[in-house]
């Protein structure tokens, strides 16, 4: 069975366009026109990824994302028709993995869906070895992040960003390098997106007791801290 993708939008034309593009790419598109019905579908039969419009009736996309994050790390790709960058930043900060701004190219949307799914797909047993830094353990094979034995729930993009930093923990990586590590060469996002992911990672590590997770080297980029307990 092909990969089920739930698309949530109250515009029938948008649903039709996205559904056609996903089906042509080999996915199984599922549809919901509002946040409440989408939440019920996710709880009943979770899809592999959620394409979620921010402006929805009943329950908007940001509220739905918050509800989903209470019980699931389901990857979320936001759709936004709003011009304000703050809406997209908020979407990433509350747990979204990526966003596409309307009007969008169906090809670009499918590329981002594939990129997210690639980051969240289980790795083969002989995949990358776990990263260890102080009390921090990142295991790509199991998509697992632990600090002092405590689970740290990361989205796919946050996990990929942290893995890129841990791969070269003593090096300072520019934001452009981190964007390429997460999204690849053919997808372009703003540096604000990376900053949002970094804020989320720092907050989640701090909640687990990490006092020095990701360090900013001003004017250069980012590197890993010692990852010691607070």
What's the confidence (pLDDT) of residue 32? Answer: 95
> Could you give the count of Cα atoms lying within 13 Å of 210 in the half-sphere of its Cβ?
28
For β-strands 221-224 and 4-8, DSSP reports them as unpaired
Is residue 114 located within the same domain as residue 152? no
Distance CA 21, CA 211 (A): 44
What's the confidence (pLDDT) of residue 99? Answer: 85
Distance CA 187, CA 176 (A): 12
Let me know if residue 45 belongs to a domain: yes
What's the confidence (pLDDT) of residue 134? Answer: 93
Reduced DSSP (H G I as helix, E B as strand, rest coil) percent helix, strand, coil of the chain, to 5: 40, 20, 40
Which residues are CB-contacts of 78 (< 8 A; sequence separation ≥ 6)? 52, 53, 54, 61, 65, 88, 91, 92, 96, 98, 99, 100
Is residue 149 located within the same domain as residue 63? no
Domain count, the chain: 2
Is residue 146 located within the same domain as residue 74? no
Is residue 36 located within the same domain as residue 114? yes
Is residue 23 located within the same domain as residue 113? yes
* 8 A C-beta contact, residue 223 and residue 171: yes
Host domain of residue 112:
4-120
Q: Tell me: the pLDDT tens digits for 62-94?
A: 999 999 999 988 999 998 876 566 666 677 778
Q: Which residues of 211-227 are buried (b: 16+ CB within 10 A; e: fewer)?
A: ebbbeeeeeebbbbbeb
Is residue 91 located within the same domain as residue 160? no
Beta strands (DSSP E) in 87-175 are: 98-101, 131-133, 136-139, 144-147, 150-151
Is residue 106 located within the same domain as residue 137? no
Q: What is the CATH number of the domain that holds 18?
A: 3.40.50.2300
Alpha helices, H only, 46-147 = 61-69, 85-93, 106-120
Residues of the chain with pLDDT under 70: 1, 82-89, 122-127, 185-189
Among 88, 120, 152, which residue terminates a domain?
120
Let me know if residue 166 belongs to a domain: yes
Is residue 55 located within the same domain as residue 155? no
Secondary structure (3-state) at 98: strand
What's the confidence (pLDDT) of residue 82? Answer: 63
Let me know if residue 125 belongs to a domain: no
Q: What is the CATH number of the domain that holds 183?
A: 1.10.10.10
Is residue 97 located within the same domain as residue 137? no
Instruction: State pTM to two decimals.
Output: 0.64
């Amino acid at each position: 069975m092909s990969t089920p993708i739930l698309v949530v939008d109250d515009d029938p034309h948008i649903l039709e366009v996205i559904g056609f593009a996903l089906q042509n790419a080999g996915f199984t598109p599922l549809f919901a026109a509002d946040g409440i019905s989408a939440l019920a579908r996710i709880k009943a039969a979770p899809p592999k990824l959620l394409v979620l419009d921010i402006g929805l009736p009943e329950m908007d996309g940001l509220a739905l994302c918050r509800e989903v994050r209470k019980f699931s790390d389901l990857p979320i790709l936001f759709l936004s028709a709003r011009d304000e960058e703050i809406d997209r930043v908020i979407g990433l900060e509350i747990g979204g993995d990526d966003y596409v701004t309307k009007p969008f190219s169906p090809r670009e949307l499918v590329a981002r869906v594939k990129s997210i799914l690639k980051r969240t797909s289980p790795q083969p047993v002989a995949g990358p070895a776990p990263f260890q830094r102080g009390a921090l353990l990142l295991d790509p094979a199991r998509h697992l992040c632990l600090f002092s034995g405590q689970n740290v729930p990361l989205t796919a993009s946050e996990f990929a960003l942290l893995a890129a930093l841990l791969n070269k923990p003593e090096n300072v990586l520019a934001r452009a390098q981190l964007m390429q590590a997460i999204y690849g060469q053919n997808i372009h996002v703003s540096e604000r997106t990376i900053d949002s992911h970094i804020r989320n990672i720092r907050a989640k590590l701090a909640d687990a007791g990490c006092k020095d997770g990701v360090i900013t080297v001003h004017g250069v980029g980012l590197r890993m801290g010692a990852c010691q307990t607070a």
